[in-house]
Structure formats: C-alpha cells, structure tokens
Amino acid sequence: MILLTRKAEFSASHYYWNDAWSAEENERVFGKCANRNGHGHNYTLEVTVAGDVDGSTGFVVDLKQLKDVMEREVVSVYDHRHLNKEVPEFARAIPTTENIAIAVWKRLEGKIPGARLHRVRVYEMPDLFADYYGEP
Amino acid sequence: MRAYFSRRYRLSASHRLHSNGLSAEENQAIYGKCNNPHGHGHNYVIEVTVGGQVAAETGMVCNLVDLDECVKREVVGRFDHANLNFDPLFQERVPTTENLCMEVYRLLKAAFDEAEVVRVRIEETSNNFFEYPVDGRRARQGREQTWQNRQ
C-alpha cells in the first residue's frame, strides 16, 4: 500500500458563531473569529489517498481524476465563498478548520476512483491545520 | 467525530551536543561541529498535534487560545532565547532535538487537558525534523480497521 497526496487551494470567508449562545458568550469563546462581518483565509487542502500501485500504470490513482474530483466536489463549492452563508453544510455546523476537514471528507468519500480516502488535511494558515481520518 | 488539530510555534535557542560519558575525541567524532564548546543555535519550529472529539457546540477539538497559552507557558517561555544545556531537563541528557521533542511532549501531555496531546514534531532546520510519538500510525490503523469493518 502507498499513500499519495494532492494539494489544492481555495480562498473563503467565515465567522464562528453559535446561535444557541449569547453574543457575550460567542465573543468570549471565539474571540475575534466571532466578528459577524466575517474574515477570510487562503486555505490549503491536502487530500491523501491509499491504495496499491497498479502494475500496468504505476499509479495508485489517476492524478487527473483526483484533481477533477477535488475541484468539482470541494474547490468549486468553497472557493471565493462565504462558508457560513453559501455552503450548505455550514448553515448549522460552525466552519472551523476541524469541521471543514470533516465536511471535505464527506464530500470526497467514495468518489475517488480506484483508491480509498486516507486523510483530509485543511490548513487555515501555514501554522494551523486540522486532520481528519474518517474516525467516528 | 475525532479530528486532529495542529499548531506551529517558534522558538530560538542554543545548544551544544556533548555527552559527559564520552571522551573529548569521541564527542568530536560523534557530534562534529555540533560539539563546538561555545554552542550554536537554531530557530526551532514546534508543531503540536492534539486529538479529540469535535464538540458540536463549538466545532472545535479544543480552544486554540488555551493551547497557545499552554504551549507558551510550558515550552516557548521556558526554552525561547535560552541555552538548552542549562535547563534542568538537560543536565543528564544531551539536548539533541530528539530529546527536546520527547521532553516537550511530556511537558505538554502533563499540562494540557482539554484534548489529547498526540504528537510533537520539531523542525531543527528546514531539512531535519523529529517526531514523538509516531502517532499517525495509530490513526492509520484505526482508519484501516474502520475500512475493514465496512467491507
């Protein structure tokens, strides 16, 4: 088995807010991320797939297909969007880096021909990232 | 759902690799320029990974502000702009980045309780880095078991 990782980038805005809490509670927990006007990041997405190297092609997965799936399922939906307001899964879940990693996993799982999803890593900035391995 | 959250911190420190149990010649042979009696320094990058359930009400594994405070108090405040050889932790042990990595892991494991500290990775230079413990393997095994259960 071998792991293969492909990167993609998208830029999006978001804010952190829990409707069940008071404004003071949101500001206490989320700090400047609670600003309702939102703020943005250049996200980097790393998708790692696992599989066996195909004897005839030498590929684990066709990179073009992987790129196309990432573009279609994630980047085209998230890029230059306000995650809270324009991406359905974040109407309820707060678009933290953790929740974005989980959402990307759900968008990609089962859609990558010939390999299985191993890890989704989302960088909100170079010093901060979340990993999701599909664990319950 | 369990996710892993990582954050990078920076500190600058000096060290000298020298083992009291070895002769001067042996130290020189093993550690080379790192054995320079006056020490030398690095800009270390410390990557801390914590794991835990993503809380439904916050969407977070842990509060990043609390992790920052803990790492700054326990690690950055302790080692930044310091000579590692003078730290009590390195009186009996050589302050290699392997040992620094294990000590940082132990310090954070003992001090942070909002989420599980699962890994510390330290870059000594852009070309070498150290990890302790190698926990990604456990995560992979967990994932593979999940996968097998579905088959």
Range of the domain at B80: 2-150
Token representation of residue B11: 């500190």
Position B147 pLDDT exceeds 50: no
Sorted by sequence, the CB contacts under 8 Å of residue A126 that are 6+ apart come out as: B8
Domains, chain A, in order of start with CATH, read 2-132 (3.30.479.10)
Residue A101 pLDDT level (bands cut at 50, 70, 90): very high
Position A51 pLDDT exceeds 60: yes
For chain B, what is the domain count? 1
In this predicted complex, what is the ipTM? 0.77
> Could you tell me what percent of chain B has a pLDDT over 90?
81
Q: What is the pTM of this model?
A: 0.82
Position A94 pLDDT exceeds 50: yes
Amino acid letter at B119? R
Query: Looking at the DSSP assignment, which residues form a beta bridge with residue B115?
Result: none
Please identify among residues 18-57 of chain B the ones whose CB lies closer than 8 Å to any CB of chain A. 49, 54, 57
Chain A contact present for B140, CB below 8 A: yes
Chain B contact present for A16, CB below 8 A: yes
Nearest to B58 among A29, A31, A134 (CB): A29
The predicted-structure confidence for B9-67, as pLDDT tens digits, reads as follows 999 999 999 999 999 999 999 999 999 898 899 999 999 999 999 999 999 999 999 99
CATH code: domain of residue B58: 3.30.479.10
User: What is the pLDDT, as a whole number, of residue B127?
Assistant: 86
Answer whether B75's CB lies under 8 Å from B42's CB: no
Position B144 pLDDT exceeds 70: no
